[in-house]
């Protein structure tokens, strides 16, 4: 059956922003364009976009990738100034939940911080391109972990 899945409170993990800035196309999937569609819809008021304050530091460099150029760095800094971004502060509550999630789900601490932030935000989905570190297509603490998709695309269910 084909249905159109639409998230209402997406949480974007760092790899989504890096894909956008780098214009990543991997295995014929234009990751940057998918991210751009998500942000365009957020800009149009369709939904807020949640991310952690930790993302602001982490997007400087993806694992196995070079540092962002100064121009890319400025672009990413400008992204986070938009009203549709809702930053989840990495406070004690998030840190303690992240520690619990890291232990119970075998996550690396940075990935657990993202998941804990998504839980605190009451996000319905955590979108990540990092399927090596996140248990994609599972739901933890009420947050579905998925590869990014744009709601205008049809998904097989």
> What is the model's pLDDT at position 4?
46
The total of structural domains in the chain comes to 1
φ, ψ for residue 155, nearest 5 deg: -120, 145
CATH assignment of the domain containing 24 = 3.40.50.1010
d(CA 67, CA 140): 31
Whether residue 66 has pLDDT greater than 80? no
d(CA 147, CA 157): 14
d(CA 151, CA 157): 14
Residue carrying the six token digits 């075998």 = 106
**Containing domain of residue 114, as a range?**
2-152
**157 in a domain, yes or no?**
no
d(CA 152, CA 157): 15
d(CA 107, CA 130): 12
**41 in a domain, yes or no?**
yes
Q: Which of the 8 DSSP states describes residue 68?
A: P
d(CA 79, CA 77): 5
Contact status, residue 59 vs residue 67, Cβ threshold 8 Å: no
In this prediction, residue 3 has a pLDDT band, given cuts at 50, 70 and 90, of very low
**27 in a domain, yes or no?**
yes
d(CA 45, CA 58): 26
**113 in a domain, yes or no?**
yes
**39 in a domain, yes or no?**
yes
pLDDT digits (tens, 9 = 90+) for 4-39: 458 899 999 999 998 998 888 999 999 999 999 999
Global pTM value: 0.88
> Where is pLDDT greater, at 56 or 11?
11
**146 in a domain, yes or no?**
yes
**84 in a domain, yes or no?**
yes
pLDDT digits (tens, 9 = 90+) for 76-119: 788 889 999 999 999 999 999 999 999 999 999 999 999 999 99
In this prediction, residue 147 has a pLDDT band, given cuts at 50, 70 and 90, of very high
Alpha helices in 65-124 (DSSP H): 70-79, 92-105, 109-121
> What is the model's pLDDT at position 75?
81
**28 in a domain, yes or no?**
yes
């Amino acid at each position: 059956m084909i249905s159109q899945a639409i998230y209402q409170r997406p949480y974007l993990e760092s790899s989504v922003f890096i894909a956008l800035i780098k214009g990543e196309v991997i295995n014929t999937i234009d990751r940057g364009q998918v991210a751009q569609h998500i942000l365009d819809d957020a800009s149009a008021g369709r939904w807020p976009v949640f991310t952690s304050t930790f993302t602001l530091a982490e997007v400087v460099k993806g694992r196995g990738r070079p540092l962002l150029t100064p121009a890319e760095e400025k672009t990413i800094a400008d992204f986070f100034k938009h009203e549709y971004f809702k930053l989840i502060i990495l406070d004690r509550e998030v840190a303690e939940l992240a520690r619990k999630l890291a232990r119970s789900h075998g996550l690396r601490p940075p990935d657990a911080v993202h998941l804990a932030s998504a839980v605190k935000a009451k996000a319905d989905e955590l979108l990540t391109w990092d399927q090596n570190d996140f248990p994609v297509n599972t739901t933890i603490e009420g947050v579905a972990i998925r590869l990014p998709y744009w709601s205008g695309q049809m998904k097989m269910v």
